[in-house]
Structure 1
Amino acid sequence: MFEGFSLETIALPEATLRVRVGGKGKPLLLLHGHPRTHATWHRVAPLLGEKFTVVCPDLRGFGQSSKPADTPDHSGSSKRAKARDCLALMQQLGFARFGLAGHDRGAYTAFRTAMDHPEAVDKLAILDAIPIADALARCDARFAAAWWHWFFFGQPEKPERAILADPDAWYGGSADAMGQEAYEDFLNAIHDPKTVHGMVEDYRAGLGIDREHDEADRKAGRTLACPLRVLWSARDDLEDLHGDILAIWRKWAPQVTGRSLDCAHHMAEELPQELARELSEFFSQ
C-alpha cells in the first residue's frame, strides 16, 4: 500500500497528524472523508504521484492523528481548525501554495481551507459534497430521511454508544472493496473509542460552528478565489437530493466545472483510475 510513499507523524502547532507523502512535482493535498482514513487514497495516490508530490493526512480527530479537546462549540473539530492544520502541514513540508482535493467530510475542510487561505490554494477539487450551509438550508423530509445520521451524530453521547456497540455492523466495508491493508487501517479506526468520538465531533461542528462560518461568508459575499472542479457519484444520492450540483457551487465559485462519475460513494476505492485521471488533468492545467 502506497509503494514509494513515506509514512510520517508530523507535529503541527495545533495537532499531530499521520501523513503519507510521495511522488514528485507540484504539491497536491488529498483529504479523506468519514469514516475513512488517509488509506482510502491508496489506489489513487500512486497514480497521481507520477506528476505530483502527493500528501495524504489523517484529518485531526480521524485515524491515528491527534484528537482535539472537547469544547461546547466543538471548535476544535471545526473545518476552520482543520484548515489551519492543512496550511501548517503543507508549509512544514515546504509548500507555500498547493492543489487541494477533499472527499465527503474532507471536502468541507478543503472548502474551508480555500476560503480562509486563498493565497495558499492554487486549485480546489470537491468530491461528493455541497457546502454544509447549503445542505442544511435545503434540508427537507427527503434529506432528513436519507442523511439522518447528520442529526443523530449531532446528539451528545448516544452516537458513540451506538457505533461502538458493533462498529463492523455499523460501518460495513470489506477487504475486497477497500484492499486488505486499507481495510485493516479502517477497522483500527472504527474500533477506537477516541477516534469514533473524534469522527462524530466532526458532525457536531458541522451542525453549528461550520454552518456559521459558511453563512458568514455568504453574507459577506465571499467566494472561492481559485478554479474549482466538482465531481460526484452518480450512484449515490447527492444529485437526487439536490438537483443541479454545479448550480449550487456557482454561487460560491466564479470558476467551476464538474461532472458525475459512474460509481457509488467511495470513488477513490471504486473508480481509482478514472478519478486519478480527472484530478491529474485538472491540477495539471
Structure 2
Amino acid sequence: MFEDFTLEQFDVDGQRLRVRYGGRGPAVVLLHGHPRTHTTWYAVAPELAAAGFTVVCPDLRGYGQSGKPVTDAGHTPYSKRAMARDIVGLMDALGHERFAVTGHDRGSYVAYRTALDHPDRVSKLVVMDSVPAVEALERCGAEFAAAWWHWWFFAQQEKPAERVICADPDTWYEAWTKNSPQALGPDNHADFLAAIRNPATVHAMLEDYRAGLTIDRHNDEVDRAAGRRIECPTLALWSTDDDMEQLYGDVVDVWRPWCREVDGYGIKSTHHIAERNPQDLVRALRTFL
C-alpha cells in the first residue's frame, strides 16, 4: 500500500500520531471514520498524489496506532476540538500553512471542526456520510435510532460496551463477512484487524462517540448560537446505498446553514466509499480540490 509514501510517528503537543504522507503540491488531509485507520484511503491517496497533491493520512487520536490519552468525565480528550488541534499541529510539523481537509464518518466531524475552529488554515472542506453532530441528534427519530442504535450503546458507561466488543471483536466488527480481506483489501484489512483487537483502541474509539453526544454537541450548539459558519468552500458527499437521503432528504440543505458556500451529491456506494468506490471518489475530490 501507499507506494512512495512515508510512514512516520509525529509528536504533536505531546500527542502521538501515526501518519502516512506523500506527493507534491497543495496539501489535503484525509481523515478516516470508525473503526478504520488511515489505511482505508489506500486506493484514494496515491491517486490524489499522482494528480498533484500532497496527501496526508493520519490515524485519528485514539484510533489505529495513534496515541490514546486518558479520558476525563467530560470526554474532552476525545472532543473533535482536541482532534482538530492535532490536525493543525501535524500540518505545522509538515510545513503546510494552508490545506484542504476531507473526512469520512467520524473523521468528518474532525474535518468540519478543524474548518470552524481554524478558518485561516483550511482552504477547502469535504464531509462524507455525515451532517453536523447537533443536527443528527436533533433530527433523531425512530428510524435513526433503529439504524444507528450503536451511538447510544457506545455511550453507556455503567455497563460499558467495551466488555461486549472486546469479548469477540472480529464478530462485532464483521471482520470476516462484510469487512473481509476481499472487501477491504488484504493490507488494509490487516491494519483494521490489529486496531479492533486492541482493547485500548476500542475504548478510545468509544470515547470518540461519548464526546460526540456531550462536548461535541455542546460546541456545535455554541457555534450555531453565535452564528459561526464554515468559511471555506465545502463539498458534502454521501453513499447512495447508505441511509443519508432516507434520514435527511436533501443532505446539502442540512449543511447549508453551517457553510458560506456548499454543494454536494451522492456517490454510488455503500458506507465506506473510499474502499467500495474509490474511482468515483477520486474524481469528485480531484474536481473539487
1:236 aligned to 2:242? yes
Query: For 1:25, what is the secondary structure of its paired residue?
Result: coil
Q: Distance in 2 between matches of 1:232 and 1:248?
A: 13
Distance 2:117 2:63 in 1: 22
**Shift in Å, 1:14:** 3.9
Match of 2:279 among 273, 277, 284: 273
Instruction: Check conservation: 1:47, 1:273, Cα contact below 8 A.
Output: no
CA distance in 2, matches of 1:239, 1:89: 34
Give the counterpart of 2:187 among 167, 181, 185.
181
Q: 1:7-22 maps to which residues of 2 (within 5 A)? A: 7-22=7-22
- Give the AA of the match of 1:219: A
- Number of equivalences: 283
Q: Secondary structure at the match of 1:54?
A: strand
Aligned residue in 2 for 1:153:
154
What letter is aligned with 2:141? D
Deviates more, 1:52-61 or 1:161-170: 161-170
For 1:70-219, list aligned pairs within 5 A.
70-156=71-157, 158-172=160-174, 173-219=179-225
Unaligned runs of 5+ in 2: none
Q: Aligned partners of 1:232 and 1:243: how far apart in 2? A: 12
Residues 32-41 or 239-248, more deviating: 239-248
Q: Aligned partners of 1:174, 1:3: CA distance in 2, in Å?
A: 23
Give me the TM-score of the superposition, normalised by structure 2: 0.97
Cα distance in 2 between the residues matched to 1:106 and 1:209? 16
Equivalent position of 1:262 in the other structure: 268
Identity of aligned residues (%): 55
Tell me which residue corresponds to 2:39.
Answer: 39
Distance in 2 (alpha carbons) for counterparts of 1:224 and 1:282: 16
Give the alignment's TM-score, normalised by structure 1: 0.98
- 5+ residue gaps, structure 1: none
State the alpha-carbon separation in 2 of the partners of residues 165 and 239 from structure 1: 34
Looking at structure 2, the residues matched to 215 and 154 of structure 1 have their Cα atoms a distance apart, in angstroms, of 19
Check whether the contact 1:8–1:19 (CA below 8 A) recurs between aligned residues. yes
Moved more, 196-205 or 8-17: 8-17
Instruction: State the 1:70 CA deviation.
Output: 1.2
Superposed CA RMSD: 0.7
SS across alignment from 1:135: helix
Shift of 1:238: 1.4
SS at match of 1:49: helix
Amino acid at match of 1:85: D
- Equivalent residue for 1:220, pick from 210, 215, 226: 226
Q: Is the 8 A contact 1:14 1:85 kept in 2?
A: no
Report the Cα distance in structure 2 between the residues aligned to 1:164 and 1:155, rounded to whole angstroms.
15
